[in-house]
Structure 1
Amino acid sequence: MEYAAPGRLPEGLRVYAIGDVHGCATRLLALHAAIAEDWRARPAARCALLHLGDYVDRGPDSAAVIEALAGPGPLPAAERIDLMGNHEAMMRAALQEGPGSAAEELWLWNGGDATLDSYGAAASGRLALPAAHRAFLEGLRLSWQAGDYLFVHAGIDPRKPIAAQRAQDMLWIREPFLSWPRPLPAIIVHGHTPCRAPERRANRIGIDTGAVAGGPLTCLVLEAASLRFLSA
């Protein structure tokens, strides 16, 4: 089903934006296949494929998720934008500070043990990432903007302009962002806060539909002044 969108994209651009994966590799690959089929059925002039972060932790196969994301993806000709989630930020800090650090403890407490297990590192607690996986994590961005939309993992501080946003808020914020009743500096497309179905508001669109908890993995499809959803 197609809906009127709260904003517009540049003419000819279609954006596929995927919510929080959390180690659900099978669903990610199924959604990538659905995106490829959608593109074949109705191509556009330009395409951007965007992932909103939280690829790792809690779910069964974070390693396979990163392997898929580090590759060419379902639309090799598309612009690829991979954003950082708070779980990638915790994982990167744990890798930098090493075993036994406070950063590692925080990461493990938030589901990093499942990521260690997916890499076969649970017994030793020492994670040796493949070079391509480490490069993927180090290349993640905090945000991306197109037309009337700003894409971030968690949201923004609604009291500040876009140029003044802190990484901490873009990765972690919930309130006052989620309940902000007035216009924001851009329409925010985000994940981070699970919901049963995509949340369509005048100032934001939330697409973390809780894949790791049994919900679907959701893709928002934006084009011109319309939106629709794909899911796996």
Structure 2
Amino acid sequence: MNDIVSILKKLELFGDFSHKDLEKLVGRLSFSIAHYKKGEIIKLMGDDYNELLILMAGKISSEMQDLNGKAMKVETMAAPEIIASGVLFSNQYKLPVDIISVEDCSMLVIPKISVIKLCQENQKFLSCFLQDMGNRICFLANRMYSLTMKTLKEKIALFILEKSDGRNSFELNMTKEEISRLFGVARPSLSRTFQEIIHNGLIVQEGNKIIIKDRSNLVRLAGTKNNNRFQGD
């Protein structure tokens, strides 16, 4: 019980709860724990999503496939993380992506009826849950914007700006293979474009560390209209 409470406390959804209040909430909650091996399919696109999944340990990826079977990664998630909160209350409640374990992982599984009960009984939980759904909508809107860009260079520029979160340097926690799948391109194409951005003096890469040297031109390359969003310190 204490392990579950400690992990949930790290989520924004439960961040405002005291440890004692969260213990009481979990004690009244109906849930189960599911375990998955690396590479195992957790959910397939089109599966019913009538229970809330919370990633408690490990890492997963969400992916889409086109008619030719080519996979495009939507995002990679590391524990702890809430999975598809908005889908749970959609009219069709069908998953729009495949969910695959990147490494051994554990899921807290909460039936939809229990989530509804929590929302009815606890205004704090309801507010945080709605906020999580709103954040998810914003994330997907940004992903759609990225995918509709004309060039790979524009996509990478926006990706770097988003990962930097206003900082001048950050650790890149994804491999080139993972990033290439995120953009739906071949790895050599991704590597060449990364090198072009480095050669143009916009960034420097030291191992997994990315250092932004010319933020204004990186913002211009990304083609974003909301320049203030990506201004550094």
Task: Output the TM-score relative to the length of structure 2.
Answer: 0.26
Tell which has more relative contact order, 1 or 2 (C-alpha 8 A, sep 6+): 1
Looking at CA atoms only, which structure, 1 or 2, has the larger radius of gyration? 2
TM-score (norm 1): 0.26
Q: Which has the higher helix share?
A: 2
